[in-house]
Every structure is written in C-alpha cells, then in structure tokens.
Structure 1
Amino acid sequence: MNVTTLINYVLIAAVGGVGSILANRGIAVFNDGLRPIMPEYLEGKITRKELAATSFAVSFGLIIGFGIPVSIGSTILVAHSILLAADIIGTWTPDTKWGTAMAGVVGAIYGIGLLFGLSTIVSLFKMLPFNFLPALSLLGGPILLAFCAFPALSVASQHGPKKGMITFGLTFLAYLLATKFGTFKVDGMTVTLNAIGMSLLVAMIAMIYFAAQIKGDGNSNAGLVNVFSKRVGRIKSNWIWLSIMGGLITASSSMLIIAVDVLPQQLLVKNQVMEAAIATFARAIGFIPLVFSTAIVTGVYGMAGTTIIFVIGLLLKGQPILAFLAGFVWMWIEVQALSATAKGLDKFPGLRDMGEHIRTSLQDTIAIALLIGAALACNKMAPNLGYFWVIGFWLLNKKAKKPLVDMAVGPIAAIVLGVLLNILRLIMLF
C-alpha cells in the first residue's frame, strides 16, 4: 500500500467517524430533511428510536439508490454515500459517551469498507461472465452538458419562462463561442477554454443577475436569529467539531476521494478539476440560504456546511495538509458569520429565494440526465432491449407504492439489468 492510498483510507475513516460523532451528538447532519427533526429529539419531544427510524427512512434510499450506485466503477465517492450513512450511524448509536465512541468507530469502519469495497468492485466486475462496467461509464455522460441547463430552469422557475429562455439562449451561445473560438495563443502558449465550464459560468452569472434585481428591506432572517439565539449559540459553541469536520472533508476533496455530487464526480473522473470546482461552487450557492436558515431554526448545522469546502479542496488538489487547515478555518468563518450572513440575505430576497429554485432545478436536471445516461448504458449492454428496460423501469417506478427517488431510477435500472444479463449468460439465454 503506497502513501497516497494510506492517506486516502485515513481520511475517509476520519470523515466517516467524525461525521457519525457529529450526528450522534446532534451537532450536525448532512440530510437537509433530517435537520428539522433533530431539535425535536434534543428537546425531548421524540425518542431516540423515533429519531433513528426517521434518519433511516430519509437517508437509506439515497445511499443505496443514488450515492453508492453512481460511485460504482470509480474511486471517487459521491458524498451522499458516506455522509448520509454517518447520519444513520450517529442516530442509531446511543446518546451516551460510549454511544458517541461507538458511532465514531462504526463510522470509520464504514468509511474504510466503502472505499475498499468500491475499489474491489472494479476488480470483481472483470471476473463476471458479462462485464458491464464499461457500459456503466456512460451513465454520467449526459450530465456534463445537461448541468449547464439547470440555471435556465432555475431562472424560469423563479422569474418566468421568458427570462429562463434568455438564460438558456445565452448558455447555448456561450457554448458555441467557446467551442469555436475557445482555443488561442498567449505569449506563445496555447490556451483552451472549456466549453462546458464557460457556458455554465455565463448561465450562473445570468441567474445571479436576475435574482439580484429583486431588492428588499425585510428582516425575516434577522427575526429568526433573534428568536432562536440560543440555537445559534449552540452551533457556535461546537465550532471546534464543525471545523475539524470541515478540514477533513476539504482534505478528502483535495485528494479526490469525495465529490459533493454526481456532476463534479463525473468531471473529476475525466480529470477536469477546475470545471468540477466551478460546478461545485454553483451548487453551493443554492445551499447557502437553506443551510443558514435551517441552522438558525434548528441549532443543528450542515455536516459539510454550505459545501464550499469541497471547492476549496479541489483548488488545493493534492495538498491534504494545507486543505485541512483551509477547510478548518473556512468552516469556523461560516459558523461565526452565520447570523450576519442570514441577516444580509434579507437585503436581496431574490438571492435568498434563489436557493430553493436551484435545488429543485438541480434535482430535475440530474434525474433526467441520469435517465438518459442509463438508457445509453443499458442499450450498450443489450442493444434495443436496453431502451425498453429503462423506459419500462421508469414508468413502473412511477406506479409503485413506494417509488424510488427520480435520481436513483436510472442508475439502479442499469445495475439491475447488468446483473440480470449475467444470470442470463450463465444459463445461456444471452
């Protein structure tokens, strides 16, 4: 085992362990849907068993249906696969000193097992009668370009279809111009602008511009800070734990172990680090209002904060020690600036409200892109039959009593078909 591999295992173990401790102590969780439930337990309104059941219900499906499937075939984990599991481990272990220690140990073991397991899966795939891993690589293909469309969708949702179409047109034009004129020479050196990165940048600028046009003098967030001052104080009192977690995630990001979402992961697989950083930053913008507002109300912070620490990690690629220090400091800044930033968003209600539209648009964009990617992957496995399989899987899922989340349908359909084709090959039907 070389030094880099050892560092990777130490980091992922630390992320899983510390993350589970944070969830166990009610300091931070990763799942936005779980955060509002935490104060109910902390104030004695629900039992530990009820909290654990809720945590499992809101997180397990995303781990099995989204986090792990899209991580298969790559040594870069989607954050959901480790941080959502930390939520579950932390809430399922007892709320005692021994329980906290147990959460840390179990979380660390899970992290190591996850990284080792995904690396092992790649080797096991090659031993299958029908190796469908190359086909799975097509899953993320449509995401890269489709992601550029989410700002236009967000603008249309927040400001109307006309401005959405303007944003979409500017994005399209930026891609064409970057493709046509994006390669030029500066002082004898050839510079190539990434078309996807440039079009996404233009789209983000348009989205922020439209949102910033909405001014306001409200004080809704300021009111929240005043009402929930004790809960804000609770977050600030745990700054050391949050900063340690921030440092660990940043270091892991710098070593390209964890990506915040599927798009940055796919970009990193293609070694497009700067583009992944831009995509991660774009995603983080939408989460700032949500993380800060829910933190103020609940007294429980986001395990990865506003997720900007992932961006810092990518910018410090290959420098885990420096990345840890930078992430530690940045998370401290986030926590200390919690009240001031939330109040500042009141002056720009468009930016404050933009977050919800971004999240919804991201989910819709990723879901449809993964569905198309799954169709391409399945069709490569089994020409023609693959399209039938994915379309049928999607439609039947819609009719299920407990349907999978849209983002999970495509990856799971592709994996299930791959397993099925291996069985069919063994019995000589494929």
Structure 2
Amino acid sequence: MALVVAVCALSALLVNMAVAVFHDGVRPFMLDHRQGRMKRREITPLAFSLSAGFVFGLGAPMAFSTGVLNPWILFLPTDVLGLLAARRWLAVVLGAVWALLVVFGLSRATQAAQSLPVDFLTAMQSLSDPVMYLFAFFPAVAVAYQFGRARGAIAFAVEGVLMLASAHVWKGVFPGALSMAVGMLLLVGLALHHDLVKRRAAREEARARGARPPVPDTSADSLFGANAKRLRTHLPWLMALGGLVGTLCATGAFAGGEATSYLVQHGDMVNAAQVDFYRTFGFVPLIGLTSLASGTFATNGVNFVYAVGYIAPNVAVAALAGAAVFTVEVLALTQLGKLFAHVPSVQDAADHIRHAINQVLELGILFGSVLAGMRMAGGTGIALVGGMYVLNEAMGRPVIRLAAAPVAVICTGLLLNVAYWSHLFTPLKG
C-alpha cells in the first residue's frame, strides 16, 4: 500500500512539473503547456477526455478481474490530477489519495465478489491461456501488415512450428517463448533489410544523376537537443520514479500490460517479463520521439522497466534496476531520435506491432471471456457474454473493444447471482 501511494504521489508531482506523463496523446501538448501556450484549465479536460475510457473501460475491469494493478488505473488518473493541481504539494496529496482509493476499493470489491454464489472472478482465470498463447503470434501479424501476406504466412508457419516443437521438447518452458522471439527477429530483420535496400537504391540513383546521395532529415535536432537536456536535468526525479515502478512490478501487485496482468496473477513472472519485453518494441519509437519533441518523459519510461522489475530477485534489486533503466533510457533519447531518422522502416514496424498486439489481445480476451461465461453457466453463459459483446459493438462501443469482453463477464456474473437469488439459476458444480 505504501509503495502504491508513493508511486502515485510521485507520478502526479512529475506531471505537475511537466517532467513525465503516461498518456502518449497528452505528452505532445506538454511543450505548449511549458511554454505558456496552453494553461492547466485547457489541458486538464483534454487529458480527462483522452483517459476516462481507458480508466473505467480497461484499467478498472482488468484490475478487478485479476487482482493486479495496471498503468491505466494508476497513471492515467495521476495525469489528470497532476495537471489539475495548482500547487506541487497538492499534486502529491491528490496522487496519494487516489492510490488509497484504488487499493481499498479493489480489495473490498474483490472480497465482495468472491463471497457471491457465482464466483465470476475465479471464472475469469479462463482468460489467461487464450491471451498468452495468441499473444505469441503478434510478430507474424505485424509482418503480414507491413510486408504482405506471403511473408506474413511464412512468419506464422515458422512461429507455429517452433511452438509445436517447444511444447514437445521443452515441456517446462512456455511454448510461445521461442516463437515470439524468432518472430520479432524476423520482423526487425525484414525492416532493416528494407531500409538498406532502399538506401542503396537511392545512392545508386543519385550517383547515376551525378547528385549527392540523400541524407536523413535532421532539422529537428536543435529542438530535440534542448528537450533531451531538460530531461537530463530532471534525471534524479526520473530515477526515483523508475525505481518505484520497478519495485512495484517486483511485488507481483502490478503489471504493465493486458496479457501480463494474467501472467502476474498466476505468478508467472518470467513469461510476463518476456511478453512485456517484446511488447516494448512497439512503443520505443512512439514514447522516445514524443519525449524528445515535448521535453516530457513517460511515467513508465520506454516500458523496459516492467520486464526488469518482474525478474528482479527482490525489491531492493528491482529499485536499483528500475532507476538504472530510466537513466539509460533518458541518456539514450538523443541517439534514439537520430537512429529512427536512419531506419524509418523500423519505426513503421513499431506502428504495426502496436496494431497487431491490439488485434491479438482483442481476440484472446474475447475467447477467454467466452470460456469464462461457459465456466459460469454453460451455454447460457456463452450466450450472455457473447451477446453483450456484440451489443457493445452495435451501440458504437461505449466500452472500448479490449475491455468489452471482461466487462461482459463481470455483468454476466452479477446477472447470474441475481438469477440465483431469484431461484432462476443453479450454479454449475465444480
């Protein structure tokens, strides 16, 4: 509890100081805020409108169903509270109060749910397997999006064979581990090869015309340099934040992603580290470049702190490792910006990774939610969960798609309990 309070209080303070913001859509506006072109009363409603759906539609249901905290329920509200506060001390207080509300509220809600005749929280453990196994194929999906159907099919075939072989040969290892790693190598390799071929062709064309070879655009270097220097000035604050986030991950009370919430719930920290490590590559360009452009870092850094925290042997090591990860990320920002100017296909690959991850997670969570419905009430549970999901689609998605299926499971569980008390439903045995 003390650790969650400290993380939320510090993250709200750093938002107030325009040093770190979690929401990628809010971060670009922080430069205008720092330079006086946008006031707090203008940017706070914007941050709330961008975050509310993720807090109540994704973060809260995910935390409730797994018992594991996540960035959407902790850091998106501290974005808003940090911007709302007129004084730094008030930002600290508001962040701490939010942390207490989350911890006590989640604990009481979980206890109440588990005391019901139909325990839908236990049924929601069915989400873990579809999410974990399908997630292993997101690199193949990204390859298909970026490099076409043929290469996507080849990547999927390679991953599928490796998954089958892993399940047969290394029975104690998660079967998707090797396939996910090789899929990421294929994607990055194809992106680098595409850039090299394109650069070689451009040089040959320039040579044929007698012109100088094209060079990457570095016109933003001066702005990037000033903003990177600002972040280095605030490095002690960011090191403290990285240490706290890493420590929170090491406790098993916090997970950085949708898939890893279910892994951490079952104590599978090694696979959680691997999943969030590969997932990070989809966010490095986005977080790195928005941090350079705005002079405001991300509350979770470039995401590597999650994987480091999961596998740390104890909280002391996790704190030191988290601080070290944030240090390296901040110091490497300038070089990161220059790197992506030279390898645009790798930056494009990151966009496709994020899209592929969302698609795979949506499908895995939907499959798992349908299984949870079946576990609670057989065919009736399938119909209720699936029907609510389809209804959400027809209504224009008032609940975002990633969270729609878990929310449907929770609503189905509550409905089945009402039916039980009304003598209209008998819980399934076992």
TM-score normalized with structure 2 length: 0.89
Q: Which amino acid aligns with 1:424?
A: A
| Structure-2 change in CA distance of 1:344 and 1:228 (3 Å) | closer
Cα distance per residue 1:332-361 (max 9 Å; x no partner): 221111101221233332222211111111
Q: How does 1:364-375 map to 2 (within 5 A)?
A: 364-375=359-370
Retained in 1: the 8 A contact 2:166–2:175? yes
| Cα distance between partner residues in 2 of 1:397 and 1:76 | 25
Give the counterpart of 1:361 among 356, 364, 380: 356
Q: Which amino acid aligns with 1:350?
A: S
1: CA distance, partners of 2:2 / 2:282 = 31
Spell out the pairing of 1:9-158 with structure 2 (5 A cutoff). Answer: 9-94=1-86, 99-158=87-146
Mapped contact 1:221–1:343 kept (Cα < 8 A):
no
Q: Distance in 2 between matches of 1:100 and 1:70?
A: 30
Structure 1 ranges of 4+ moved more than 6 A: none
* 1:221 shift after superposition: 7.0
- 1:218-247: CA deviation from partner (whole Å, max 9, x where unpaired): 765743332443333322222121111111
Q: CA deviation at 1:402?
A: 5.9
Alignment equivalent of 1:193, drawn from 173, 181, 185? 173
Structure 1 position 275, deviation (Å):
1.2
Give the AA of the match of 2:40: R
Q: CA separation in 2, counterparts of 1:86 and 1:227? A: 27
Flag the 1:372–1:121 CA change in 2: closer, same or farther, 3 A.
same
Whichever residue aligns with residue 274 of structure 1, its letter is V
Alpha-carbon distance between aligned partners in 2 of 1:404 and 1:123, rounded to the nearest angstrom: 25
Q: Does 1:409 align with 2:389?
A: no
Establish whether residue 180 from structure 1 lines up as the match of residue 168 from structure 2. Answer: yes
Answer yes or no: is the 8 Å Cα contact 2:120–2:409 preserved in 1.
no
State the alpha-carbon separation in 2 of the partners of residues 330 and 221 from structure 1: 29
Displacement of 1:428: 2.8
CA 1:148–1:401 in 2, change beyond 3 Å: closer, same or farther?
A: closer
Q: Does 1:258 align with 2:246?
A: no
CA deviation vs aligned residue, 1:361-406 (integer Å, no higher than 9, x gap)? 1111111211111111122222222232233323322233563221
Corresponding residue number in structure 2 for 1:269:
265
Native 8 Å contact 1:254 1:315 kept in 2: yes
Aligned to 1:282: 278
Equivalent position of 1:398 in the other structure:
393
Is 1:207 aligned to 2:187, yes or no? Answer: yes
Unaligned runs of 5+ in 1: 1-8, 184-191
- Report Cα offsets for 1:188-241 as digits up to 9, x if no partner: xxxx33212122222222222222212256765743332443333322222121
Question: What is the rounded CA distance, in whole Å, between the counterparts of 1:261 and 1:220 in structure 2?
Answer: 34
Deviation at 1:277, TM superposition (A): 0.9
Structure 2 CA distance, aligned partners of 1:219 and 1:140?
A: 47
Cα RMSD of the aligned pairs, angstroms, is: 2.0
Which residue identity is paired with 1:259?
A
SS at the partner of 2:42? helix
Aligned-residue offset at 1:28: 1.1
- In the alignment, structure 1 residue 327 sits paired with structure 2 residue 322: yes
**Greater Rg, structure 1 or structure 2?**
2
Distance change >3 Å, CA 419–CA 359, structure 1 → 2: same
**Matched-pair contact (CA < 8 Å) for 1:221–1:342:** no
Shift of 1:264: 1.6
Matched AA of 1:392: G
For 2:26, give the aligned amino acid: L
CA contact (8 A) 2:242 2:322 kept: yes
Give the letter for the 2:219 counterpart. G
Name the SS for the 1:271 alignment partner.
Answer: coil
Tell me how far 1:285 sits from its aligned partner.
1.2
1:113 to partner: Cα distance: 3.1
Deviations 1:96-125 (A, max 9, x none): xxx221221221232233233333333222
1:163 aligns with 2:151: yes
- Residue in structure 1 matching 2:237, options 235, 241, 244: 241
Question: 1:73 and 1:404 mapped to 2: Cα distance?
Answer: 16
Q: Distance in 2 between matches of 1:343 and 1:75?
A: 41
Distance 2:352 2:407 in 1: 26
- Distance, in Å, in 2 between the alignment partners of 1:335 and 1:220 is 23
* In 1: Cα distance, 2:391 partner to 2:373 partner: 17
Instruction: Report SS of the residue matched to 1:140.
Output: helix
Change (3 A) 1:60 1:311: same
Q: 2:57–2:404: 8 Å Cα contact kept in structure 1?
A: yes
- Name the counterpart of 2:205: none
- Residue of structure 2 equivalent to 1:420: 415
How many Å separate the matches in 2 of 1:139 and 1:178?
Answer: 22
Share of identical aligned residues, percent?
28
